[in-house]
Structure 1
Amino acid sequence: MSLEAEFGIASARKALDHAGVEPSDIDLVICSASHHQRPYPAIAIEMQQAMGTKGAGFDMGLGCSSAAAALHIAVNLVRAGAHRRVLVTTPEIITGHLNFRDRQTHFIFGDASVSMVVEGLAQGDKRPGRFEVLDTRTWTQMSNNIRTNLGYYTRTAQDDPYMINLEGNLIKQVGNKVFKEVTVAGHQFIVEFLAEHGLTPQAIRRFWLHQANARMNAMILKLSFGHEVGHDRAPMVLERLGNTAGAGAVVALAENHADMNAGDYGLLCAFGAGYSIGGALLRML
């Protein structure tokens, strides 16, 4: 079994147990991560076989917005009636793609795996402690400020096609530009997304934001609220786990939602390479 599939299955089994469903109840597996171990066969299909899920599976990625983007797809597939119950898994193994000589990136990242189960909610159905997904959204804008050049054509640009020089081909980022540009984009995304539903940031009980930069999150929320926001409103797990790419915001949600009351709103929002942003407006049932 591949390392990524094994890592994904570890969190997938926890998600299935939490949802109270069996693998055979799942009819689609989406494996969405910023870095995949291989292009094919899909990691999701390997997970499907190992766990015994039904239907199909496919891989996708959208940088650090991978989990949120997959949730966006899963929710809309269920709403459209194309699938009944979808397993979204984001196994982020970033350490395998780091240049440990690059002080801009190597110490920032960590590895984590998260999974979510998305299913339809019948009229009047009661699911205390679960979240209703009210809406999802994605946004992208081309930027090279977070970039990797390692791929299956990398060797074609080198003298020896059987030896890949990793120098210059691993993760690179221009941190100061990313901070400025993503802060502005993140703030605008949050305010506009909530406004579409007649909500302001003040109406949201909890924000689970991308776990990459505490200062960036604080600035995005300060711009959105007009004042500083504390840990209870926007919890961080960054200091313990590092930047776990697409997994971080979901970890923050998993560890910081049990105290929410029925009817409370929450916003899952991740941002990263692309640039990309993915968001989900949730309500506690």
Structure 2
Amino acid sequence: MTLYSKIIGTGSYLPSRRVTNGDLMAQLAANGIETSDEWIVSRSGISARHYAAPGQLSSDLAVEAAKKAIEMAGIPADDIDLVIVASSTPDYHGSFPSTACIVQRKLGMHNNSAAFDVQAVCSGFVYAVSVADSLIKSGAHKNVLVIGAEVFSRILNFEDRTTCVLFGDGAGAMVLTASEEPGILATKMHADGRHADILSIPGSLNAGAISGSAFLYMDGPAVFKLAVTVLEQVAHEVLDKAGMSPAGIDWLIPHQANIRIMKSTAKKLGLPLEKMVVTVDQHGNTSAASVPLAFDQAMRDGRIMAGDTVMMEAVGGGFTWGAVLARM
């Protein structure tokens, strides 16, 4: 019997604190930095984002999203035999124990399931789904919980208006299960370390202190230029692997980073904008959480239906990028 992986549940969670462009303008003005709603929207398409409460960790957001995904999947949490968390803002600075292990504990899972984190920045969720798909197809695991969770508000420099206005916090989750019917049709992951410096946190932990900067740095024009190129390329790669054309895509869910990049991708694939799921306007860039957040929203409002073909794709620091083509 040929095994496939299939998406059977999705969930998402946004912290309660919603920060509009107006709210952010007031905060930046207190730091002597001027910006405007028009400036932010015209460059990114973002009108609002959510910030985690003090003490609220990536694992806390992840657990809330996971509970909803597990509920939709209709399986007990202890039937999950692997937890993968994609995050650039793990609970612990040293990155261990993994946020996935913390999520496992907070979900009350005591079945000795495997758990680990994936770090590919904004591409993290796409990477994690690709890994989950391979492990299910191999027969190693049956039910996999995949989560993207971020608290980027903690790594933003609020004296740099070119980056601090772009990012938000949130989490999205999926449950994938072994199936005799194709669900994940094709995946592809890429990285090019030559571009590592254009999106990074250029600091490291040394003797209990940060050496370098602990704030996010981004060369916006360089990231934009690379993103619009690789997103089109990787979309065609997974379509070719699945033996499909862009016309077969019912929904495009790109990484929610910048509306101009997203529109460019849809245009290059010949897809009408009505087929693209957009949440960047209200969520901002939630890094590894952005794709599953958008996916869950489109699932729960009835846009994504059984039988639909969905293209997920993302780019992130590293420089990383990838895509997943799925049939619901």
Per the TM superposition, whether the score is higher than 0.5 is yes
Distance 1:23 1:111, change over 3 A: same
The answer to whether the 8 Å contact 1:48/1:56 transfers is no
Question: Is contact 1:27-1:83 (8 Å) kept?
Answer: yes
Could you tell me which runs of 5 or more consecutive residues in structure 1 were left unpaired when the two chains were aligned: 124-130, 156-160
Q: What are the superposed Cα offsets for residues 88-125 of structure 1, whole Å, 9 maximum, x if unpaired?
A: 112111111111111121111000111111110136xx
**1:25 maps to amino acid:** D
CA distance in 2, matches of 1:163, 1:134: 45
Give the AA of the match of 2:203.
Answer: L
Paired residues of 1:35 and 1:61 also in contact (CA < 8 A): no
Q: Which residue of 1 aligns with 2:321?
A: 277
Task: Name the structure 2 match of 1:146.
Answer: 199
1:241 and 2:297 aligned: no
Matched residue SS, 1:196? helix
Contact 2:252 2:266 in 1 (8 A): no
- Residue 126 of structure 1 corresponds to none
Distance 1:31 1:9 in 2: 10
Structure 2 match to 1:106: 164
**What's the TM-score, normalizing by structure 2?**
0.76
Q: Aligned with 1:64: secondary structure?
A: helix
Report what 1:264 is aligned to.
308
Q: Using the alignment, how far apart are the partners of 2:146 and 2:126 within structure 1?
A: 10
**Percentage identity across paired residues of the two chains:** 29
Q: Cα distance 1:5–1:191, how it changes in 2: closer, same or farther (>3 A)?
A: same
What's the TM-score, normalizing by structure 1? Answer: 0.87
2:255 aligned to 210, 213, 238, which one? 210
Q: Deviations over 1:143-198 (max 9, x none)?
A: 1111112332xx3xxxxx555466x4421111111111110111111122212222
- Greater per-residue strand proportion: 2
Q: Which residue pairs with 1:28 in the alignment?
A: 82
CA contact (8 A) 1:218 1:229 kept: no
**Cα RMSD over matched residues?**
2.0
More helix by share: 2
SS of the counterpart of 1:277? strand
Aligned to 1:201: 246
Structure 2 counterparts to residues 30-45 of structure 1, below 5 A: 30-38=84-92, 39-45=95-101
> 1:48-87 counterparts in 2 under 5 A?
48-53=104-109, 54=111, 55-87=113-145
Does 1:134 pair with 2:175? no
Q: How does 1:123-202 map to 2 (within 5 A)?
A: 132-142=183-193, 143=195, 144-152=197-205, 155=206, 163-164=209-210, 168-202=213-247
The superposition leaves residues 192-221 of structure 1 with CA deviations (integer Å, 9 ceiling, x where unpaired) of: 221222212122011000000000111122
How many angstroms apart in 1 are the aligned matches of 2:209 and 2:203? Answer: 13
CA–CA distance in 2 between the matches of 1:237 and 1:199? 26
Deviation at 1:260, TM superposition (A): 4.0
Partner SS state of residue 275, structure 2 = coil
**What SS does the corresponding residue of 2:90 show, helix, strand or coil?**
coil
| 8 Å contact kept, 1:146–1:171 | yes
| 3-state SS of paired residue (1:104) | helix
| Residues 199 and 255 of structure 1: CA distance in aligned 2, closer, same or farther (over 3 Å) | same
User: 1 CA distance for matches of 2:142 and 2:208?
Assistant: 45
Q: Tell me the alpha carbon deviations over residues 19-69 of structure 1, each in whole angstroms, 9 at most, x when there is no partner.
A: 001111111111111221211112211222222322221112101011111
* Consecutive unaligned residues in structure 2, runs of 5 or more: 1-54
Residues matched between the structures, number? 266
1:259 offset after TM fit, Å? 3.3
- Displacement of 1:246: 1.1
- Tell me how far apart the structure 1 counterparts of residues 173 and 133 of structure 2 sit (CA, whole Å): 14
CA contact (8 A) 2:172 2:296 kept: no
Alignment correspondent of 2:150: 92
Provide closer, same or farther for how the CA distance between residues 262 and 56 of structure 1 changes in structure 2, counting only shifts above 3 A.
closer
Task: Confirm or deny: 8 A CA contact 2:148 2:292 kept in the other structure.
Answer: no
Cα contact 1:30–1:58 (8 A) shared by 2: yes
The answer to whether the Cα contact below 8 Å between 2:203 and 2:210 also exists between their aligned partners in 1 is no
> d(CA) in 2 for partners of 1:7 and 1:260?
24
Counterpart contact for 1:64–1:273, Cα < 8 Å: yes
